[in-house]
Structure 1
């Protein structure tokens, strides 16, 4: 199952403005370059380094509310198209040639979504529609248009 990276966004500080990009470096230590959420704090696990949302889920939420807001209003880092984000923590996805992310948990919509549009929090709540959070396993440079796919489980690779 292959999809496409359809968008990249970051914000340099909490509640700061979102900046959309065509390409970006992603590191194990800092997540997306310049994004405040990506840094792993001392003793932390980095479970929220990168946030991803499916284009179809954002479109469904917008249709439900009768809005047409840009995806980055979700405040997610990566927009994926034609791809079902795994809903199983521990699953790894590869974006482009080198970047590997491990899904850590659902990205529950917060009350901030109500500031974006009334009802948006509820529209993003069902079935992981708000997206997924991930940590960086293997760093890399990614660009809009890169392929995204499920990466083979690390335990299966070790056994092979």
Structure 2
């Protein structure tokens, strides 16, 4: 897959009550382009294998939702592409929990909120001036991985 390409969302077994993983993006290093993947292995205590934050103490996975991106796009006045926000996992819908300690089962992995993912200045460079402001309070959360497992596009996301 190329930069920004989106995997096809498989809705087999879809539940209207639960969000699903819409896309997954990783980058091998800081400031390197995010690349879309169909699945990624979330390693407990380490993060997403193949991502720049793998091995970080707490910043293992960043999660956002298409709902928040749509709201940010409305405020920004243009599309806010998921891969340009530098977040790893984008959910089909809903609000991302921001309270530290809140847990989500994402595919096979168990994640726990560490903090809100504040948008950085880099967003104004990659998306356009004003993107950072549009994503404020809409940038999702940073999670740590408590239980290892594979996360795939199409996986359901459940609060624990």
Q: TM-score, normalised by structure 1?
A: 0.84
CA distance in 2 between counterparts of 1:48 and 1:60 reads: 25
For 2:10, the equivalent position in structure 1 comes to: none
**Which structure 1 residue ranges, 4+ long, deviate > 6 Å from structure 2?**
none
For 1:83, the equivalent position in structure 2 comes to: 94
For 2:44, the equivalent position in structure 1 comes to: 28
For 2:141, the equivalent position in structure 1 comes to: 132
Aligned pairs for 1:1-160 (under 5 A) are 2-40=18-56, 46-96=57-107, 98-116=108-126, 117-126=128-137, 129-151=138-160
Query: Given that residues 29 and 38 in structure 1 are in contact (C-alpha distance below 8 angstroms), is that contact kept between their aligned partners in structure 2?
Result: no
Higher helix share: 1
Indicate the SS of the match to 2:28: coil
Query: Given that residues 70 and 80 in structure 2 are in contact (C-alpha distance below 8 angstroms), is that contact kept between their aligned partners in structure 1?
Result: no
Deviation of 1:35 after TM superposition, in Å, equals 0.3
CA distance in 2 between counterparts of 1:103 and 1:110 reads: 19
Q: Deviations over 1:25-55 (max 9, x none)?
A: 1102431111011213xxxxx3211101111
- Of the two, which has the highest radius of gyration? 1
Q: Provide structure 2 residue ranges, at least 5 long, that are not aligned to the other structure.
A: 1-16
Q: TM-score, normalised by structure 2?
A: 0.84
Deviation of 1:102 after TM superposition, in Å, equals 0.3
CA RMSD of aligned residues (A): 1.3
Query: Given that residues 119 and 132 in structure 2 are in contact (C-alpha distance below 8 angstroms), is that contact kept between their aligned partners in structure 1?
Result: yes
Indicate the SS of the match to 1:3: coil
Number of aligned residues:
143
